[in-house]
A and B are shown apart, each in its own frame.
Chain A
């Protein structure tokens, strides 16, 4: 018993001595990346990581971040949140209290970004989620920002697009009730659709829970309801299953989705079944110009595939962070003071010209920017179809 205790204590001591930064107090600027490297949406994590690494390459090439006339080295702390809400909270807490990061980029999905944003705000650490479109992420949280449009905007955009494009009056919705993003968006869509077409025009509002793979009973109900179009704001892995099962149950009407569809992996899982479908997203890689094109080419060369919206949004978010740090005055070494300074300068950014478009920031830290409607071509490429601005 004694010996065991002694052994444990000595292990702890050795651990503390050898852990990298328990002793030193460097003035490295640490940027935390809270991303889903494993779990339900690993492709999102991968895109985040690659974009962040490319950004770091640029910073290193420039010799560090320049703040107040002095250059500081930058270090990325990339942590895996396993696409789980509770892990994202844990990761944020760890990065803030142990790694002492100056600012956090991520988490990407609203399911993780909403709870993790609460932690960042409580610890007064600036956080920017590149991809989270649910309004709750930033609401009443002065320390939390985002780099994309919001679901209350995306919902009506999609409802309007369907109305305009097809002239339908009856829609069905299928969404994951256990995940913040699909649930929020499904509700915003329903609200907008019923405003346009009258109460009861969403003829089927069906749900399932995360990890479900069989949607046959929900889809059978949707088909019976006489809906003309199916809206499903799900992540790419579920989309493949939903679309295939819908076709196998005899559904041959359009299926429309949201920005969570826009992953490079969608087509790989979905195959021909997804051809000709529409979804809204942040940018379209096909036909990009200027800085966007340059980013796409560089990413493609480094990673071997065309970046999806997460990569592009993360890139933009990191540049917004960079701009904020550079204009924050100076790095004092007192992490709490520095975090406050970065927050203040983040809040001061009013306009930003990113690769996903021009954005203007509101009081809450939410950007106003255009959405893009993408059509999946017969070759499985994401083609720009039309642009929808607020």
Chain B
């Protein structure tokens, strides 16, 4: 039983990363019918910006400019990095995707791959191939709950992720901009005729998706404190799988599928030899998609997507 619970705790943490990143894929698809393949790399950029901000604030604080408790530094890091990374997202949309909005979707997808490579190699040129250590902002404390080991980091990661997801949900449901996004997802040809600017909404979607990716990047840096310029590639692909599994364009779907993917990966190892992890995990997902080709919450005709 403790074995099972321990795996459950592990899976919750692992799934939060997938969910946060899958949301970015899914939202962009909902609005523009476009898979932003650079999203995994925006996640990487977010993690590096987080690294920069955290190092900067810690350096300032230690120089005596101001005294801050570590948790406040963390909160500031997350907020500032989300803000900064959202501009990276806007830039990617403006430079990479907007000129191609009328082009075939394949061209746009290829552009995404290229932007990804530019971000990776740009980072490589800027910071070199050395891996960087994400600063330990919170001291890791392990609690032993009847044989199940939970760290304060794990609780924080799952908590912050859920808060962000809930925030996004509220934004999309309750605000005017959220309504515009949902309308745009419903029909991006007619809605602009009603006076809603597709450029504003597209930029906003990229900004929000990138901000979430940045938050994921920082939380990732706290859990796995070794960053390298290629960390976003495979991770991005897997989150993309989660977005598909959840149903393209569905926020709830992406969240649930992200967690589900984390659970499948962890629990496959619990039962089978770990060598077969990805083989079995992704076969299961393939099987699910065979029976539900549009994912859990996707709709058969892509013109009618939910957000």
A interface residue numbers (CB < 8 A to B):
37-40, 42-43, 45, 177, 206-209, 211, 213-214, 216-218, 220-221, 224, 237, 240-241, 244, 247-250, 265, 268-269, 271
Contacts and interface: CB of A to CB of B under 8 A. Distances in A.
Given A218-B274, A220-B7, A221-B274, 8 more contacts: A45-B129, A177-B275, A214-B14, A220-B10, A237-B228, A241-B225, A248-B149, A269-B225
A81 to B, nearest CB: 12
Contacts of A42: 128-131
Contacts of B7: 216-217, 220
Contacts of A216: 7, 10, 13-14, 266
B226 interface: yes
Contacts of B230: 39, 211
B126 to A, nearest CB: 13
B205 to A, nearest CB: 28
Contacts of B277: 208-209, 217
Contacts of B266: 216-217
A336 B164 CA distance: 64
B60 to A, nearest CB: 22
5 contacts: A211-B231, A217-B267, A221-B269, A265-B130, A268-B133
Nearest to A183: B275
Contacts of B278: 209
Given A217-B266, A269-B133, A271-B136, A240 B226 contact: yes
A102 to B, nearest CB: 28
B151 interface: yes
A237 B133 CA distance: 10
Interface in B1-43: 3, 6-7, 10-11, 13-14
A240 B144 CA distance: 22
B11 to A, nearest CB: 8
B149 A43 contact: no
Contacts of B131: 42, 237, 265, 269
B17 to A, nearest CB: 9
A244 B234 CA distance: 22
B140 interface: yes
B40 to A, nearest CB: 12
B284 interface: no
B2 to A, nearest CB: 9
Contacts of A218: 269, 274
Given A39-B129, A250-B142, A217 B270 contact: yes
A216 B130 CA distance: 25
Contacts of B273: 206-207
Nearest to B153: A248
Given A217-B265, A217-B270, A221-B274, A249 B149 contact: yes
B3 A220 contact: yes
The interface centre, meaning the residue of B129, B151, B266 with most chain A CB atoms within 10 A of its CB, is: B129
Nearest to A36: B129
A211 B234 contact: yes
Given A217-B7, A240-B225, A208 B149 contact: no
Contacts of A45: 129
Interface string B200-239: 0000000000000000000010011110101101100000
Contact of B130 (A43, A211, A221, A248): A43
A219 B114 CA distance: 37
B124 interface: yes
A248 B274 contact: no
A214 B140 CA distance: 16
A221 B270 contact: yes
B274 A214 contact: no
Interface string B77-110: 0000000000000000000000000000000000
Contacts of B13: 216
A248 to B, nearest CB: 5
Contacts of B220: 213
A213 B224 contact: yes
A209 B279 CA distance: 11
